[in-house]
């Protein structure tokens, strides 16, 4: 195994083991060895987060471990990106605005999605909790988002997802954005149609795959 391969393996393993100190040390090694930072990202850190996602999907690790790994990757990625020449910085897969709807103050789910999606190459803007419809649309237009994601954990706030879909349609913006919904209160396929959303997820890894697929479709 070459020196480069050893360092890439260290990067992946640090993410799998949610070991921030090991990840940052491996990043320093990669920089010192003059490994292309893009390779360190795509062939090191990304390999690790994919393995973690697969383990979570198989029920082998609990949700907090997934989030810890995503946070380690995000921090290591930030340091690596400082060493990528501007012309080589990889384009994000897409841009997403996410938040918890008005009347709901739960943010664990949206924070997990933000961490995992960011670590997987989607530029995230998390607008926080208890957000009225207008704030989602305003932020999405401001950052030229591809996706708007609205989370509702409580059943009495579900209607806000519908109001957001209606507001997008009323303003002639429904075709401008991919609209995704989720959260603990999500009742299923029928609700998806009622709120006029493109897709939904109550699992972060499934949500990531759906988001990637929708992004690919709009860029074809």
* 186: CATH: 3.40.50.280
- Which of 54, 88, 122 is the last residue in one of the domains? 88
> What's the pTM?
0.72
77 touches 119 (CB < 8 A):
yes
Please name which of 42, 47, 117 lies closest in space to residue 84, comparing C-alpha atoms: 42
What pLDDT does 67 receive?
81
What pLDDT does 96 receive?
98
The average pLDDT across 176-197 equals: 88
Most confident of 80-84, 120-124, 195-199: 195-199
The average pLDDT across 107-130 equals: 85
Same domain, 113 and 64: no
Same domain, 71 and 99: no
What pLDDT does 144 receive?
97
For residue 17, pLDDT beyond 90: yes
How many angstroms separate the most distant Cα atoms in the chain?
A: 59
Specify the number of domains making up the chain: 2
For residue 88, pLDDT beyond 70: no
For residue 90, pLDDT beyond 70: no
At 154 the three-state DSSP class reads: coil
Higher pLDDT, residue 38 or 218: 218
- Which of 88, 106, 122 is the last residue in one of the domains? 88
Q: CA–CA separation, 157 vs 140, rounded Å?
A: 21
- Which of 34, 56, 88 is the last residue in one of the domains? 88
Q: CA–CA separation, 158 vs 140, rounded Å?
A: 20
Range of the domain at 68: 3-88
62-67 long-range contacts, CB within 8 A, separation 24+ = 63/112, 63/204, 65/18, 66/112, 66/116, 66/204, 66/205, 67/111, 67/112, 67/115, 67/116
For residue 119, pLDDT beyond 90: no
DSSP letter (8 states) at residue 89: P
150 touches 178 (CB < 8 A):
no
Residue 220 burial class via C-beta count within 10 angstroms: exposed 0-12, middle 13-18, buried 19 and up: exposed
What pLDDT does 81 receive?
77
Same domain, 69 and 101: no
**Other residues' Cβ atoms within 10 Å of the Cβ of residue 124:** 24
Structure confidence at residue 87 as a pLDDT band (50, 70, 90): low
Same domain, 10 and 82: yes
């Amino acid at each position: 195994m070459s020196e480069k391969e050893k360092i890439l393996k260290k990067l992946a393993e640090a993410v799998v083991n949610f070991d921030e100190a090991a990840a940052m040390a491996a990043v320093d090694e990669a920089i010192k060895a003059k490994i292309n930072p893009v390779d360190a990202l795509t062939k090191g850190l990304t390999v690790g987060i994919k393995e973690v996602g697969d383990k979570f999907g198989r029920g082998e690790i609990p949700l907090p471990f997934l989030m810890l790994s995503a946070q380690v990757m995000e921090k290591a990625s930030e340091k690596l990106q400082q060493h990528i020449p501007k012309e080589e910085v990889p384009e994000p897969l897409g841009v997403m605005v996410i938040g918890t709807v008005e009347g709901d103050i739960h943010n664990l789910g949206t924070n997990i999605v933000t961490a995992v999606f960011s670590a997987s190459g989607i530029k995230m803007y998390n607008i926080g909790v208890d957000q009225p419809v207008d704030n989602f649309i305003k932020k999405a237009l401001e950052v030229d988002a591809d996706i708007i994601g609205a989370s509702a954990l409580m059943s009495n706030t579900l209607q806000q997802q519908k109001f957001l879909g209606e507001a997008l349609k009323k303003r002639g913006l429904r075709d401008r954005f991919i609209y995704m919904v989720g959260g603990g209160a999500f009742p299923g396929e029928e609700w998806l149609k009622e709120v006029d959303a493109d897709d939904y997820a109550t699992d972060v890894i499934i949500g990531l795959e759906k988001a990637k697929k929708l992004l690919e479709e709009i860029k074809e």
